[in-house]
């Protein structure tokens, strides 16, 4: 649970304005919120389960949706709710398992912050619990394959897209553009990090050439998808979506920091990377460049280190006092360690043709 004691943005006891707005958005005569429950998770914003009685229109009847707000402060690299909503809609239309986009508001006046309303999906997103599920041996490989298929569907969304016109189109190699952005984000942080600078300099020197741009989720990892009885039900948290290289999402999921301790299952701690790659190739008919993946996993570690530092910065200078955010910032050396160990392993293989790093 995040920020158990912080003030809430949405006040369910004062939802009349929201109900009127919602009815207009979905073409209903009336929408009445019968129950609102704050859900766990959401280090960036708040998530509320809403039970809504809808009268009239194509959504008439009892509905269960999720209201997702902007947080008081936001990381520079994350989208606001309207842009996140547009990315989710593009993914939904491409057939990706994603909560159905229902409505979005950029106005602060309605409930105190911009928000979106999306479909409610069954399942749990608790990564640590998932990788320790005793039944994982039975469903993990299939789940990894399904994750690959979903990524392939997402990556079928490619520029130019008028509905995603707010997304920056990199004018150079996506990896090099990522490094440039990470350096700019790092410059917003109070704490200089030489090890991270070392990793970014290495990534910049070794960046692969520009490949075809695709819509990248940007935070596709265990903990950001829902699983119910061993089956994937939906992919969450689209606030970091951007145009990038298809290997970036694959590398992020396989990065060691997102295996929750189940290091032998390299695809997010749930399955083998081959199962993930095969699922991707089955759906996309595009071959995953296996030799390129260690580079993208170093980039993933460096990126998570920067994200952690930015989270810590929200406490340090962003006016959002939170022990959880501060402790997240203090995790940066862990990802720096993985990044440097990854670099060492890549160079050892290049030098000797052997897996050489013991770190």
Partner 1 sequence: MTEAVMQPAALLSIAIETLRSEVLAALPPDRRYAGAMIANALEVAQRGLEAPTAERVRQLLDPIYGAGRGSIAWLARDVRSGEVDDASTGELRDLLIADLRRELMIRNPRFLASRSA
| Residue with the two structure tokens 């203090």 | 330
Q: Cβ closer to partner 1: 141 or 338? A: 338
Distances (CA, A) of 57 to 3, 15, 26, 60, 101: 38, 21, 7, 6, 16
Q: Cβ closer to partner 1: 257 or 288? A: 257
Min dist. Cβ of residue 343 to partner 1 (A): 7
Min dist. Cβ of residue 258 to partner 1 (A): 14
For the CA atoms of the chain, what is the radius of gyration?
Answer: 21
Q: Cβ closer to partner 1: 72 or 330? A: 330
Q: Cβ closer to partner 1: 55 or 327? A: 327
DSSP conformational letter for 204: H
Here the tokens at position 72 are 């008081």
Min dist. Cβ of residue 216 to partner 1 (A): 25
Strands 225-228 vs 101-105: parallel, antiparallel or unpaired: unpaired
Min dist. Cβ of residue 170 to partner 1 (A): 20
Distances (CA, A) of 78 to 75, 166, 217: 5, 13, 12
Min dist. Cβ of residue 53 to partner 1 (A): 29
Closest CA to 297 of 194, 203, 211: 203
H-helix segments, 255-331: 273-284, 293-316, 323-329
Give the up-direction half-sphere exposure of residue 124: CA atoms within 13 A in the CB hemisphere. Answer: 9
Contact residues toward partner 1 (CB under 8 A) are 1, 4-5, 183, 192-195, 197-198, 200-201, 261, 323-324, 326-327, 330-331, 333-334, 336-338, 340-341, 343-344, 359
Q: Cβ closer to partner 1: 37 or 107? A: 37
């Amino acid at each position: 649970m995040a920020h158990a004691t912080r003030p809430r943005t949405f006040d369910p006891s004062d939802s009349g304005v929201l109900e009127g707005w919602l009815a207009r958005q979905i073409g209903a005569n009336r929408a009445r919120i019968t129950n609102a429950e704050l859900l766990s998770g959401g280090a960036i914003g708040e998530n509320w389960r809403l039970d809504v009685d809808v009268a009239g229109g194509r959504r008439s009847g009892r509905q269960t949706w999720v209201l997702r707000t902007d947080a008081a402060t936001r990381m520079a690299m994350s989208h606001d709710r309207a842009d996140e909503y547009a990315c989710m809609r593009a993914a939904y239309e491409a057939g990706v398992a994603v909560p159905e986009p229902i409505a979005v508001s950029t106005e602060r006046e309605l409930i105190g912050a911009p928000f979106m309303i999306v479909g409610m999906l069954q399942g749990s997103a608790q990564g640590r619990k998932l990788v320790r599920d005793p039944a994982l041996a039975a469903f993990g490989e299939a789940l990894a394959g399904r994750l690959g298929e979903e990524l392939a569907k997402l990556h079928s969304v490619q520029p130019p897209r008028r509905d995603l016109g707010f997304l920056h189109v990199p004018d150079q190699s996506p990896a090099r553009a990522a490094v440039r952005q990470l350096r700019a984000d790092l410059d917003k942080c109070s704490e200089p990090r030489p090890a991270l600078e070392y990793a970014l300099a290495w990534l910049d020197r070794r960046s692969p050439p520009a490949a075809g741009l695709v819509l990248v989720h940007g935070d596709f990892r265990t903990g950001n998808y829902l699983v119910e009885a061993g089956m994937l039900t939906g992919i969450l948290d689209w606030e970091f979506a951007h145009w990038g290289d298809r290997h970036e999402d694959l590398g992020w999921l396989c990065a060691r920091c997102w295996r929750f301790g189940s290091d032998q299952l390299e695809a997010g701690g749930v399955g083998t990377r081959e199962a993930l790659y095969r699922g991707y190739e089955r759906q996309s008919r595009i071959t995953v460049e296996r030799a390129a993946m260690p580079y993208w996993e170093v980039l993933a570690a460096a990126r998570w280190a920067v994200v952690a530092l930015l989270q810590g910065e929200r406490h340090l200078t962003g006016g959002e006092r939170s022990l959880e955010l501060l402790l997240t910032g203090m995790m940066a050396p862990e990802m720096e360690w993985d990044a440097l160990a990854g670099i060492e392993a890549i160079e050892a293989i290049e030098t000797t043709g052997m897996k050489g790093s013991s770190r």
